[in-house]
Structure 1
Amino acid sequence: MTRRLIVTADDFGLSMEVNEAVEEAHRKGILTSTSLMTAGPAAEDAIRRAKRLPDLGVGLHLALYGAPAQAPADAIPYLVTPAGDLDGRSTATGVAMTLSSAVRRQVHREVEAQFRAYRLSGLPIGHLDGHWHCHQHPWILGIAIEVGKPLGLRTMRIPYEPVRPSVLAAKGEGWARRIAHAASHWSLAAHMRRRLKVNGMASNDWFFGKNDAGHVTPGLLQQMIAALPEGVSEIGLHPATGPWSGDHAPPPDWQASGELAALIDPDTRAACEANGVRLCRFDDLV
C-alpha cells in the first residue's frame, strides 16, 4: 500500500496574509489543497488567486462558529453575535443543535448560504472541511451531506490524528494530550466514516496538524512526513505571510509565518521524496 499525502491550508479568504501564503506555498512548496471561507473578508481575492492556480485543489471551509457569517443575521439569530459574526461558543452551539430543531434550521440556512456562495465563485468543489473541525458534529455532518451532495460534493476531511505517528513526529512532546484527543474523537471519526461510506463519498484515512495547529515548524512537518502511516493522510496547516488584526485575527501565540516557511522549505519536499510519499489532492480520491 502506498502513502499518499494531501497538504491543505485552511482559512483561505480570511485575510490577505493567508491568501498570499496559500499562493506562495503552492507555487514554491508542497501545498496541494486549500479550503475557502466564503464569508471571509478576503474571499474575492482568494477566488481570483485560485482561478490562476489550476493545480491547487480547493474546497469549502465550512464555518459555524468563530468566523464571519454568510447568511443574514436575522435568518440565524441564535448563531450570531450582536456584530453579526458566528458565535465562538462552539460547545454551546453544539448542544443547542442537538436539543433544538429551531437551531438546526438556522444551521441549515447558514450551510446552504455557504454552499450557494461557493457555487457562485465558479470554483469546482474539491472537498469539504470545517472551521474548528465543526463538521465532525453529527448534525452538522448530516446537513453538510444533505446540502452538498446534490451540488457535487464527493470528498470530505476526517480530522482524526492517530496516536503513534503523532507522538513519533512530535518526539514524545504532548503525548498524554495526543492520546486523550484521539480517544475522545475516535467515535466521531468512526461515525463520519460510516456516513460518508453510505453516501458514496471519499475521505482521507488520517489527519495530522490538529494537535499542533499554529505551531508546525519545518522540522515538525518533516517529522510528520517521515512518520506517515500507509494510506491517504492529510496534513492541515494555517500558513500566513504575517499576523493581521481584527475580529478574526489568529491567536497571538500562533506562528503562521513559520508554517509557511515549513511548506516552502526545500527539505520538506525532499522528505516526501525520501519517504516515498506521493503528494495528491482530494480530487484524486474519486
Structure 2
Amino acid sequence: MAKYLIINADDFGLTEAVNRGIVEAYIRGCVSSTSMMVNMPGLEDALKHARSLPALGIGLHFNLTYGFPLADPKSVSSLIRDDGSFRIIGTAALDEERHIEAELQAQWQCFIRTGMYPTHLDAHHLLHQHYPAVYRVMSRFAAREGVPMRTVQRTDLRTNLDALDVRPLMTDRIILDTYHALGSLARILHYLQALDEGTTELTCHPGYSDHTLQALSDWTKMRELELAVLCRPEIRKTIYEQGIQLITYRSLRRCRQPLASPARQGVF
C-alpha cells in the first residue's frame, strides 16, 4: 500500500503576511494544501493568490475564536461577547450545537460565494478535537456536504461517530504536534521517515510576521521558522526517497483505504 501525505498549512486568509508565507511554502516547499479563514482581514488577498494557484487544495478553516461571526449575532449568542466578537478560546461555551452549526453554515456559504468549493473542512485551534459538540456538528455537516474532514487524535470522538451514524471521509491518521516541531528540520525528517502506509495529514503554520498578525496572534516568529524548514531541499528529497506521494484532499477518496475500525487508526 502506498504512502499518501497531505501537508496542510492552516490560517490562509488570516493576514497578508501569513498568506505570503503559505504561498511560498507551496511554491518553493512541500505544502500541498491549505485551509482558509473567511472572516479575517487577509481574505481578499488570499483569494487573489488562490485564483492563480488552481492546483493548491483549499479547505474551510472553521473559525470560532478570532474576529466576528458571519451569522446573525442572535443565532450565535453563546459564542460571542458583548461587542459581538467571538469569545476567546477557553471562555466560549462551545456546547450549543445549533449556534455552532449556524456559524459553520454562514462561513461555508461565504466560501462558496467566492466561486470556489472547499476541498475539506477543519477547525481553527483544533476546536473539533477539544470540544465534542464542535466535532459532532462538523462531522454531520461534512458528511452531508460530501467533503472530507480533518481527523482527530481522540479515539473516543472517532468511535462516537458510530452513534451519530455519520461517516465523513478522513485521513487514516494525523500529525498534530507540529507547533514547535516544525521549527526543527530533524523533527520533520523523522516524521517523514516514520510515515506509515495509507493516508496522513501533517498540519503546519508557515507565514511571515507583521503588525497585523502580532495584534491577532501570539504565534508569530514561529511561523517564519516553520516556513524556512518547509522550504529546505532535504524535505523534498526525503519525500521522494521514502516513496511518499503528496496529495490534496481532492484525491483522498481515491487514495483512502478504509481500516478495519476507527480504533485501529494510528496517530502520531
Tell whether the structures are fold-level matches, with TM greater than 0.5. yes
SS in 1 for 2:160: helix
Hey, what does 1:187 align to over in structure 2?
156
**Count of paired positions:** 250
Question: Take 2:52 and 2:235, find their aligned partners in 1: how far apart are those partners?
Answer: 24
CA drift at 1:106? 1.9
Identity of aligned residues (%): 28
Correspondence 1:144 to 2:111: no
Question: Take 2:146 and 2:48, find their aligned partners in 1: how far apart are those partners?
Answer: 21
User: Over residues 139-180 of structure 1, what are the superposed CA-to-partner deviations in whole Å (9 max), with x where a residue is unaligned?
Assistant: 223323444555x442111032xxxxxxxxxxxxxxxxxxxx
Q: How does 1:155-170 map to 2 (within 5 A)?
A: 155-160=148-153
Structure 2 letter corresponding to 1:216: L
- Mapped contact 1:243–1:249 kept (Cα < 8 A): no
Question: Take 2:93 and 2:189, find their aligned partners in 1: how far apart are those partners?
Answer: 36
- Mapped contact 1:35–1:129 kept (Cα < 8 A): yes
C-alpha distance 39-66 of structure 1, shift in aligned 2 (>3 A): closer
Hey, what does 1:23 align to over in structure 2?
23
CA drift at 1:77? 2.4
Hey, what does 1:213 align to over in structure 2?
179
Question: Take 1:244 and 1:259, find their aligned partners in 2: how far apart are those partners?
Answer: 19
Question: Take 1:55 and 1:27, find their aligned partners in 2: how far apart are those partners?
Answer: 11
Higher helix proportion: 1
C-alpha distance 145-7 of structure 1, shift in aligned 2 (>3 A): same
- Mapped contact 2:140–2:168 kept (Cα < 8 A): no
Correspondence 1:229 to 2:196: yes
Hey, what does 2:236 align to over in structure 1?
269
CA drift at 1:190? 3.2
SS in 1 for 2:79: coil
SS in 2 for 1:121: coil
Hey, what does 2:259 align to over in structure 1?
none
Structure 1 gaps of 5+ residues are 98-102, 161-184
CA drift at 1:212? 3.1
TM-score (norm 2): 0.84
C-alpha distance 124-89 of structure 1, shift in aligned 2 (>3 A): closer
TM-score (norm 1): 0.79
- Mapped contact 1:17–1:243 kept (Cα < 8 A): yes
Hey, what does 1:59 align to over in structure 2?
59
Structure 1 letter corresponding to 2:133: W
Question: Take 1:64 and 1:195, find their aligned partners in 2: how far apart are those partners?
Answer: 25
C-alpha distance 250-123 of structure 1, shift in aligned 2 (>3 A): farther
What root-mean-square deviation, in Å, do the aligned CA atoms of Structure 1 and Structure 2 show? 2.3
Runs of 4+ with deviation above 6 angstroms: none
CA drift at 1:74? 4.0
Hey, what does 1:121 align to over in structure 2?
114
C-alpha distance 158-149 of structure 1, shift in aligned 2 (>3 A): closer
User: Over residues 215-269 of structure 1, what are the superposed CA-to-partner deviations in whole Å (9 max), with x where a residue is unaligned?
Assistant: 51222222211111221111100111224445422336x5110111121111100
Question: Take 1:279 and 1:110, find their aligned partners in 2: how far apart are those partners?
Answer: 32
- Mapped contact 1:32–1:279 kept (Cα < 8 A): yes
C-alpha distance 140-51 of structure 1, shift in aligned 2 (>3 A): same
Structure 2 gaps of 5+ residues are 254-268
SS in 1 for 2:202: strand
Question: Take 2:233 and 2:38, find their aligned partners in 1: how far apart are those partners?
Answer: 32
Question: Take 1:191 and 1:200, find their aligned partners in 2: how far apart are those partners?
Answer: 11
